[in-house]
Amino acid sequence: MAKQIKNNKLLKGIAAVLKELREAKGVSQEEVYNDANIHVGRIETAKANPTVSTIAALCKYFDISLSEFYRRVEEF
């Protein structure tokens, strides 16, 4: 298996945007896990390198398009 690419700046942007979205929705990491079955704690600390499918599921959960999500990440 090929080594996974890890862009720390990008992961920190994803972490920051997810945390903003979660806080704006007023839910805890545990509530996201219970609702979407996704453990966001490791993503929000930029320790995990989430798949595109995981990001898409979180965008659906937070009612934001993928393009808007990544636009916000790029602004980080």
Q: Contact at 8 Å (CB) between 50 and 43?
A: yes
| Digit-coded pLDDT (tens) for 8-41 | 999 999 999 999 999 999 999 999 999 999 999 9
Distance CA 30, CA 49 (A): 19
Q: How confident is the model at residue 4 (pLDDT cuts 50, 70, 90)?
A: confident
The angle that helices 52-61 and 66-75 make with each other, rounded to 10 degrees, is 100
Tell me, what's the pLDDT at 2?
74
Q: Exposed, middle or buried, 43 (CB in 10 Å: 0-12/13-18/19+)?
A: buried
Mean pLDDT value of segment 28-55: 97
pLDDT at 16: 98
In this prediction, residue 5 carries a pLDDT of 86
